[in-house]
Amino acid sequence: MTDPNVRRADLTALFAHASDADLADTKAYRLQSTPRQTQKSLAILALRTSVSDTETPTSNQELAMAAQETDIVIIGGGHNGLVCAAYLAAAGQKVTVVERRGVTGGAAVTEEFHPGFRNSVAAYTVSLLNPRVIADLELAKHGLHIVNRPYANFLPTSDGRYLLTGGGGTTAEVAKFSAQDAAALPAYEAQLETIADLLRDLVLETPPNLTSGSWRDALPDLLGAARLGNRLRRLTMDERRVLLELFATSAGEFLDGWFTSDPLKAVLGFDGIVGNYASPYAAGSAYVLLHHVFGEVNGVKGAWGHAIGGMGAITQAMQRACVARGVSIHTDCAVEQVLVEAGRACGVVTATGGVIRAKRVVSNIHPRLLFEKLVDPAHLAPDFRARMTRYKSGSGTFRMNVALSQLPDFTCLPGPGGHLCAGIILAPTLAYMEQAWIDARQTGWSKAPIVEMLIPSTLDDSLAPAGQHVASLFCQHVAPELPDGASWDDHRDTVADLMIATVDKAAPGFAASVLGRQIKSPLDLERDFGLVGGDIFHGRLTLDQLFSARPMLGHGDYRAPVAGLYMCGAGTHPGGGVTGAPGHNAARAILADIRRRR
């Protein structure tokens, strides 16, 4: 048992003074990743392994044939596992990735869900993927092409009008509803951008870990905390107040303070309830809103785009980057146990009894799956285990794909047009979103649900036969677990019909155009992807589960409470989304420990 002695601090102080705990490591890490060093590492790897650029993952059977040895084994081939593997391999480590599913990519995958129709199965739109990760893994060279969406959002209103944002026309569109809101919008965006910039600076940093011990142990954390303190000091007092508001209040209250018109508040506030099973007036939802604006697409800050070929194109490019660096990848290969000897993680056992021994073990999976299923409780402190059972995980997300014979035709804006390339939000007001949450709490789902629809085939003709289309329906505010012990398996079709009927109400004829559909209830998301409670972020993005406290205070630096065991998934800083940041940051922490011979 090696649970470090955690110095408790109140969370306000944490966010006021924290900074990059691995600052001292960063310089050396970058040195390790310089092209010359990388070339050298790759050359060594080329001698040591016979992996070729075109090699595909091997199956569980091949793996089970012999006990394997590697420097580092990564549990889970989600995008963060792949990013972590690529960085570690570039630094000369022999890395093995083991993935439970038949394909790598985790929640960022593309599938043919109806004959001739392909789409992203879970994650469906890109913005948060870190530019440094894109560059370092040379994802463009490995086939990734991301395009910007010409319009941001299209929101039909309850009185038969619409709001269409992006494409250079936002101010005029907002002015249709409120001249005052149109005038206030630039200042709102500038303020949010300043805070989003701060967040962008932090996503690739390791949060200070707040451990106690000798001054030598604490030094990197102290340096990191001082650096963050300096960054915060650069904010004006007004900006610091906004930062506090965004971390502590609700999206609804924040937006009510700026604007009066319902459609604008609904378009902006939708980000506060994505994956966040809460009212838009729940404290903490303003942070979830912020979490969705720190990304960028092709240099355009805050924009959302589309990966040609769907989200699987991102993870396939990552897999190619891994293979090119010599990473060994095994699919259809669930890990059942983390091996711990003399208090140190030293490998994994797979479901078929295969053993992979390694100097270090890295987990890309949900923290609760790791600590409740794979690590023997004898190796974890009782307090840690008890807290982990209380780690909050559950989104109100119901995800569908539909194959369409034709494009939808909206009553409020008939015919084809740029609005069909936007994120189409069917939830006209924040009050509507709040009611959907209240209904879901009481009965499992609302008769007036929240649906965001994206039609990626308007930007990507590789997804559907000519003249036909695919749409992603990202529906919010169903209960992660149904009341009275009811199972989602008994209700998923009813709710899928409701989601389609909701679109049909705004675009009559939509239901008749549906040729096929794929449904992912919260239970499906848990079973298929290992997302506990269907949580799209590997755990809720609440203040008590962010930054140094993700997944738990004292383990915010990617190091688990067992020596040699690390975490690199969305259950670590900076949380969920297809960012690559946890994978990047975990690799840096692991390389720092290798250097220090820990």
Ligand X SMILES: Cc1cc2nc3c(=O)[nH]c(=O)nc-3n(C[C@H](O)[C@H](O)[C@H](O)COP(=O)(O)OP(=O)(O)OC[C@H]3O[C@@H](n4cnc5c(N)ncnc54)[C@H](O)[C@@H]3O)c2cc1C
Residue 321 is a binding residue for ligand X (CB under 6 A): no
Among 15, 437, 537, 558, binds ligand X (CB under 6 A): 537
Task: Pick the stretch among 455-463, 494-502, 533-541, 556-564 that binds ligand X (CB under 6 A).
Answer: 533-541
For ligand X, what does the binding mask look like between residues 471 and 510, x meaning CB under 6 A? Answer: ----------------------------------------
Cis peptide before 561 (omega within 30 of 0): no
Smallest Cα–Cα separation from 460: which of 189, 165, 244, 147? 147
DSSP code for 211 = B
CA distance 582 to 571: 8
Q: Work out how close the CB of 318 gets to ligand X at its nearest, in angstroms, rounded to a whole number.
A: 10
Smallest Cα–Cα separation from 553: which of 2, 20, 7, 13? 7
User: Could you tell me the two tokens for 494?
Assistant: 């009813």
Residue 107 is a binding residue for ligand X (CB under 6 A): yes
Nearer CB in complex with ligand X: 128/455: 128
Is there a contact between 402 and 473 (Cβ–Cβ < 8 Å)? yes
Encoded amino acid at 97, one letter: V
Contact positions with ligand X (CB under 6 A) in 560-589? 569-570, 576-578
Nearer CB in complex with ligand X: 128/440: 128
The DSSP bridge partners found for residue 507 are: none
Residue 133 is a binding residue for ligand X (CB under 6 A): no
Nearer CB in complex with ligand X: 315/435: 315
Among 28, 334, 355, 511, binds ligand X (CB under 6 A): 334
Nearer CB in complex with ligand X: 370/380: 370
Is there a contact between 20 and 205 (Cβ–Cβ < 8 Å)? yes
CA distance 91 to 84: 11
Task: Pick the stretch among 124-132, 161-169, 193-201, 244-252 that binds ligand X (CB under 6 A).
Answer: 124-132
CA distance 235 to 254: 19
User: Could you tell me the two tokens for 198?
Assistant: 């701060």
Residues in contact with 280: Cβ distance below 8 Å, sequence separation at least 6, in sequence order: 250, 251, 252, 269, 272, 273, 430, 433, 434
Q: Work out how close the CB of 315 gets to ligand X at its nearest, in angstroms, rounded to a whole number.
A: 8
Is there a contact between 270 and 252 (Cβ–Cβ < 8 Å)? no
Nearer CB in complex with ligand X: 3/99: 99
Q: Work out how close the CB of 238 gets to ligand X at its nearest, in angstroms, rounded to a whole number.
A: 30
Among 25, 68, 74, 76, binds ligand X (CB under 6 A): 76
DSSP code for 374 = I
3-state DSSP call for residue 370? helix
Residue 545 is a binding residue for ligand X (CB under 6 A): no
Task: Pick the stretch among 38-46, 79-87, 221-229, 433-441 that binds ligand X (CB under 6 A).
Answer: 79-87
Contact positions with ligand X (CB under 6 A) in 379-408? 397, 399
Task: Pick the stretch among 95-103, 318-326, 511-519, 542-550 that binds ligand X (CB under 6 A).
Answer: 95-103
Task: Pick the stretch among 38-46, 66-74, 200-208, 528-536 that binds ligand X (CB under 6 A).
Answer: 528-536
CA distance 506 to 413: 10
Smallest Cα–Cα separation from 188: which of 130, 118, 249, 257? 257
Cis peptide before 551 (omega within 30 of 0): yes
Among 3, 25, 99, 221, binds ligand X (CB under 6 A): 99
Residue 293 is a binding residue for ligand X (CB under 6 A): no
The DSSP bridge partners found for residue 110 are: 120
Nearer CB in complex with ligand X: 221/535: 535
Q: Work out how close the CB of 34 gets to ligand X at its nearest, in angstroms, rounded to a whole number.
A: 26
Q: Which residues of 162-196 are buried (b: 16+ CB within 10 A; e: fewer)?
A: bbbbbeeebeebbeebbeebbebbeebbeebeebb
Q: Work out how close the CB of 363 gets to ligand X at its nearest, in angstroms, rounded to a whole number.
A: 9
Q: Work out how close the CB of 586 gets to ligand X at its nearest, in angstroms, rounded to a whole number.
A: 10
Nearer CB in complex with ligand X: 19/502: 502
Residue 122 is a binding residue for ligand X (CB under 6 A): yes
Nearer CB in complex with ligand X: 227/360: 360
Is there a contact between 218 and 7 (Cβ–Cβ < 8 Å)? no
Q: Work out how close the CB of 415 gets to ligand X at its nearest, in angstroms, rounded to a whole number.
A: 27
The DSSP bridge partners found for residue 378 are: none
Count of residues that interact with ligand X, criterion CB under 6 A: 38
Pairing of strands 110-114, 117-120: antiparallel
Among 91, 128, 362, 421, binds ligand X (CB under 6 A): 128
Q: In terms of DSSP H, where are the helices of 249-351?
A: 251-256, 262-273, 285-291, 312-324
Nearer CB in complex with ligand X: 23/380: 380
Q: Which residues bind ligand X (CB under 6 A)?
A: 75-81, 98-101, 106-108, 122-125, 128, 334-335, 364-365, 369, 397, 399, 525, 529-531, 536-538, 569-570, 576-578
